[in-house]
Every structure is written in structure tokens, then in C-alpha cells.
Structure 1
Amino acid sequence: MLAAAPLLWPLVARGQAAGRPARIGFLYPGVVSVTPTRIAALREGMAAVNYVNADRVEVVVKASEGDPAKLPSLATGLVDSKVDTILAISPSAVAAAKAATTTLPIVANDLESDPIRSGFVASLARPGGNITGVFSDFPDFGMKWLELLKEALPALSHAMVFWDPATGPTQLAAVKAASELLKVRISVVEVPAIAELQHAFSKADELNPEAVVILSSPIFGTNPKLIAELALAHRIPIATLFSEIARAGGLLSYGPNLLGTFQQTGTMVGKILQGAQPADLPVERPTKFELVINARTAKALGLSLPAAVLLRADDVVE
């Protein structure tokens, strides 16, 4: 089947040439209400590679609303509905799409996985199958988050870490290594579902850390407002990968520009719809990174942020 796949993918481009608008399956692990900005960025990426019908493309959104158990059936539904390609966001969505089809092109937007170790691609330069995309598994983020918290809270000695076990051990191992170097004790709380977030913050009240590090996971990245509100309600400074959480009321974030990753995947989708084969499209890494500091939240928490931290920020929320 894999051998036959390269012969089938160019038919997608020929279908577009015949005038039929493309149909893109958008397999999303979060809430559907936040998808419009991501879809707009996807269209921008498609237009950037001269895909002339970027504004006419039909995006078929299937969102699991925070329940990863729904993703396999949603992926199968997209395949059955005969979309031209699937954009899968998060490791669980990529795995669900991979299980649903070995021929339909899949473009990943996965900020947690090592794509080779996860079995999604054969190599970064030549993925080899029907999957390519934007992947980020930078373990040095763990060090960066703790360093920033240490600068913002010089007396930091105990931090809690929220970890989604479904994302694997790489991030957690990196934060543990960073905590030893920075001499910060950490307590790990597993958060396998959105429903567990309230419990996690209540656990923080119980253990009384000076700050919380929220590791990368679709559970967290797709619920920025909820997490920011919980952090403010429990009066806990948080550091995370996701800028939307910081802008919504979290203390700080450092990581890839989220909408930038959707633009990148948009360029890859555009190339595939014009006849490129996923097997030959190299895996990409995020290209835009940003540090966001919420000065308003710092003031609400009674923190005085050092000028050195504020000057390095790409965006300071006043």
C-alpha cells in the first residue's frame, strides 16, 4: 500500500486543477472555538506557496473537545469523508490519523514528539511514508522555563510540574535535569485530561510550590483561558510553552509562535495539494520563537519582575 501511495498523491493536484475546491481535514484535540485563528494562519501559509485557492479551501474541522479517546473515530470519519489531506494537531491526533490511513497525506503540527522515535517518519530529510509536518521536541525548553522563573522569583526553591503522560518522558526528564542544575526541588503532577486541571491546581495549594511549570501538551495548549483563570484564582505564577496562556493571564511563556507553526504547516499542505509527496517533504522545526511576559499578572501576584527579564520579552502584557 505504501509503495502505491506516491502514485495516488498527484491525483490530489489534478483534482484541484479540474476546479474542485480542496477539502482539508482539521483533526484537533481541543475546543472548536479556538480553531478560526489557526485556520486563518493555515490559509496564509498556503497562499505563501502560491496556492491560488487558499481562500476557497474547505476546512473540515473535527475537534475532540479535550477528550483524546474521540480522536481515532474522528480521524476515521475524515478519511471516510474523502478529504484530500489531514492536518493533525498533537501527538495523539497524528497517531489517530496514522492508524486511520496509510495513503492519505497527513501533515502534523506536533509540538511534543520526536517524529522518528514515535514511528511517524523514517527520517527528517526523507519521511518516507504519508506523514510529514512540523515537529518540536526541544528538551532545552525545560531549562529555559525554570531559568526564567528563577529570575522572576529569585528565592524559588520548589516548583510543581504539570505533565501529560501521553506526551512521553522527554520533557519531564529535561525539567528534572534542569531542576538539579538550578537547585530547585520539583513535584510532578500527572494531568491526563482537561477534567484533571482543577485537581492539579488544588494539589498545588496543598504542596505550596512557589511556581508551576506547565509542560507542552494539547491538553494545556488548547485551553489557555481555563489554565490562566485557574492560575490566577490559585495565585500561582506559571511558566509554559504556550503564549496564549501568558496572554490570557499566565505569568510567562517561552516557545514556538503557535500561529507561526500553523503557517508552516499551511505551506506544506499547499505544496501537497499542488502535487508534492509527503514522503519527499522534509520534516520542519518551528522557526519563530517568543518570550511573553504578563506584567499585569505579575502585579496582581505581588511580583516585581527584573528589568532584564522584561527587556528580553518579545511581548509584555500591560
Structure 2
Amino acid sequence: MKINRLFILITILVLFSCNNSNQNNNNVEEFDTCQQISPSGKSETTVFTIPTPILVPATLKIIDLEFNNDIVNYLQNTKTIYTNKNVKALNLGICFVDLAYIALYNETQYSYNVLSRIDYLLDELDIENQTIISSIDKLKSNFSNNDSISKIILDSQNKLAEYFQEKNEKEVGVFMICGFYIEGLNLILNSKNKILAKEELTPFKKNYLNSLLFEHSVFIDNLIDLTEIYNNKFSKKINNELKISKVHFNDLKISIDFDTDNKKIKNIKLDDKKINELETHIEYLRKNIISGILE
């Protein structure tokens, strides 16, 4: 079942990219929509497909959605000190998505806050690796360079993932990825509800947003499996929150219309009336992560 869902996911990404490439041109560079990790680092183990921090921001930019400063306003006043390493990693993941969001929309007035926050979290995670530090410095010096910022963000994220793997801190790396997921999903839900309220949800935008929601319904299964690997109180807490989110995803009743003759996705349907419940839960989870309540 998971293999079939992943095949459909990849098909959606390819077809939507091909079918809509000429409808909107926002000069967003090509990017990897997802990546694969193996928690044990051994080839014979299960490989999980997970989101990158630029997946959602880049897609929102492609379909020309307005920048929402409410998403990043927390960066101006956040002074919370975290004691749990996994909470720090979750917040780092959230910050990387926000960094991509700010950079791709060229909202440079928020860059200092988000980069300072990333510096703080890296310091809190005791990361003194010069390769990572150099990568973050490159981010700072190229923040306004739309031609390369996505690749630099991905490179920094990949170096962090490799670092956690080499240091045998795979659990910390998993929670950074959970941060990517939670903030990406928060962006999708917030964006969709805003344009639903304004009655501005065109078929073009709806297809892309519904595609993102379908992708995240696939990703969440992988994150549930990943967080079940680590048998501690905090991992169980996050795992439970993800399972609650999965229930809300099931309530959306996501379905796909596939044109077998033309080998293309016609559309992805879901129950928009149920989106508020998922959004409420994700906002609650995100708020508790940023505030440190989950510690």
C-alpha cells in the first residue's frame, strides 16, 4: 500500500509540473520535492521518503500566493530557552522552512530574525562543525540571490542531516525533519483557508494545494514510523500528535481522478469542510513546539 501511494505521489509531482509549467512563471529554480533517509544508515533497512524545507514555500511561490507575514511574526519576539534537544531540532526544522519561505518571496526584512534564530539553535545543539558553519555563512551572504538560495538551503539541510547521522544522533535528525513537515503543513493549511475565505481558490491553485496535502498525507505515515523507532517519552508524545493529525487527514477523504487514457491526473478531491480541524491541530502542535510547552 505504501509503495502504491508513493508511486501516485511521484506521478502527481511530475504531471502537475509538466501540465502547469506554462501557466505561471515566478522564476523559482528547480528543487527536490522530497528526499530519502534510512534511520540506521544501512542499505538493507527501510528507506523513508520525507519532505525538504523548500517543498511547500517553492510551490506556494509557483502558484503565486501572497506572502503571509503572520507565519513568521513569531521570530521577532521568540526568546524561549529549550532544554530538550529534540525540541531544539523541531524548532530548527521550522526555521529552515521559514527561511525558505522568506527567501523565495524576497522578504529580506525577516532575514535577520530567522538567521539569528538558526544560529541560536545550532549553538544550543552544540554544533561546531566547520562545514555546517560555512554553509550557514553562505546562506547569510547569498540570502537575496534568488538564483541559488534554494540549493544553498538544501545543501545546509543535507549537511546537518549527515552530521546527525555521523554523530549517531539520528533521532535529533528525525525531529528536524518533523519540523520541516509541521511548518510546511502549517503553511499549506493557512494558505488554503485564507484563499477559501476570500473565494479566490482557482482550479489551478486548488490542484496544487490539494496535491501538497496528498503528499503530506503520505509523508505523515513515514514520520509516524520513524518516531516509533525511538522509545522515549518525548518521541512517544510527538508520535501521538502525528497519529492525531493522521486521523484528521483520513477525515479529508482525499481521492484522485486519474485519466488512464491520457496517463494524467485530472484532479485531487478532498473535503474542504474538514480542513479546519486539521489546521487547528497543526497550529496547536506548532505553537507548543515554539513555546517549549512540549518539553
TM-score exceeds 0.5: no
Higher share in strand: 1
Structure (1 or 2) with the larger CA radius of gyration? 1
Higher share in helix: 2
Q: Give TM-score, length-normalised by structure 2.
A: 0.31
Q: Give TM-score, length-normalised by structure 1.
A: 0.30
